[in-house]
């Protein structure tokens, strides 16, 4: 029997990358998974592959959060785990440093990466509590642990997620909801988002993406990029009963990157 047998889990941003890996891992452990993403075509394909239910979902839209939670309640009658994973890098053409970054890009990044997590917590807490409790895992970033002037808004938004996670954890404990809330902090994970980021930085530096990636790899103490499955394993731990007394904590899965910077 899997560690999540009989439980219902909601995973946002599940079309690819960390979200897909998490949805797949939770499903393998017996969970009934509801996968959401703003990309309907990729999301449906991913959900079909892992045997999950798919719902199109813009996490920055409060009405869509209400609709998603209502659909989970109607179809499954309960909810036991929430993985707030959906996130964006922002406009790839926009400056990202604190001197030149446009406010519109900052606001959009915050709307998705911080606002989307807030809405996810706000609207799933009641159903989690009514289901007897559960676990919320908010996917943050190693960018909360080191300065990130090259992706200023991203790092700031993910840092907001850390404080929100602690507040949600304490609120739920004091309210007697039996809901735990923790954050996971991926380092440099081999995903399309990271590859796109490295390609842009490489172009700015006048080097190949391969050379840039190799140079960056050498700054990771464990000497390798993380894979989505590595983050999914951490999410599984925080969702499962193995972490039943863990709440309000930040778990870095970064190969030691933050230690060296």
What are the structural domains of the chain? 8-190+227-260 (3.40.50.720)
Residue 199 has pLDDT above 90, yes or no: no
Residue 220 has pLDDT above 90, yes or no: yes
Q: Is 154 a catalytic residue?
A: yes
Residue 243 has pLDDT above 90, yes or no: yes
For residue 18, what pLDDT is reported? 96
Span 7-28, pLDDT tens digits:
999 999 999 999 999 999 999 9
For 166-202, the three-class secondary structure string (H helix, E strand, C coil) is HHHHHHHHHHCCCEEEEEEEECCECCHHHHHHHHHHH
pTM of the entire structure?
0.96
Mean of per-residue pLDDT scores for the chain: 96
Q: Got the DSSP string for 231-257?
A: HHHHHHHHHSGGGTT--S-EEEESTTT
For residue 155, what pLDDT is reported? 97
pLDDT band at 261 (very low <50, low <70, confident <90, very high): confident
| 171 contacts: CB under 8 Å, gap ≥ 6 | none
Residue 203 has pLDDT above 90, yes or no: no
| 146 contacts: CB under 8 Å, gap ≥ 6 | 257, 258, 261
Percentage, residues of the chain above pLDDT 70: 100
Span 89-116, pLDDT tens digits:
999 899 999 999 999 999 999 999 999 9
Residue 65 has pLDDT above 90, yes or no: yes
For residue 13, what pLDDT is reported? 98
Cβ–Cβ < 8 Å for 139, 157: no
Residue 136 has pLDDT above 80, yes or no: yes
Residue 1 has pLDDT above 80, yes or no: no
Rounded mean pLDDT, 165-179 = 98
């Amino acid at each position: 029997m899997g560690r999540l047998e009989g439980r219902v889990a909601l995973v946002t941003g599940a079309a690819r990358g960390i979200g897909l890996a998490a949805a797949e891992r939770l499903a393998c452990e017996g969970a009934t998974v509801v996968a959401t993403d703003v990309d309907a075509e990729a999301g449906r394909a991913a959900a079909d592959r892992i045997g999950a239910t798919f719902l199109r979902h813009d996490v920055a839209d409060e009405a869509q959060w209400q609709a998603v939670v209502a659909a989970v309640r109607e179809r499954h009658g309960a909810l036991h785990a929430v993985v707030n994973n959906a996130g964006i890098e922002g406009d790839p053409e926009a400056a990202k440093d604190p001197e030149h970054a446009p406010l519109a890009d900052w606001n959009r990044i915050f709307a998705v990466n911080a606002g989307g997590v807030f809405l996810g917590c706000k609207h799933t807490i009641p159903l989690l509590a009514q289901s007897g409790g559960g676990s919320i895992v908010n996917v943050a970033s190693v960018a909360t642990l080191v300065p990130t002037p090259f992706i200023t808004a991203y790092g700031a938004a993910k840092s907001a997620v850390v404080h929100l996670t602690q507040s949600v954890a304490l609120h739920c404990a004091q309210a007697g909801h039996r809901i735990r809330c923790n954050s996971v902090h991926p380092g440099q994970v081999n995903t399309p988002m990271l590859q796109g980021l490295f390609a842009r930085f490489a172009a700015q530096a006048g080097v190949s993406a391969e050379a840039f990636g190799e140079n960056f790899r050498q700054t990771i103490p464990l000497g390798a990029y993380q894979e989505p499955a590595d983050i999914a394993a951490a999410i599984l731990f925080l969702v499962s009963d193995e972490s039943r007394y863990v709440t309000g904590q930040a778990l870095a899965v970064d190969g030691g990157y933050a230690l060296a910077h």
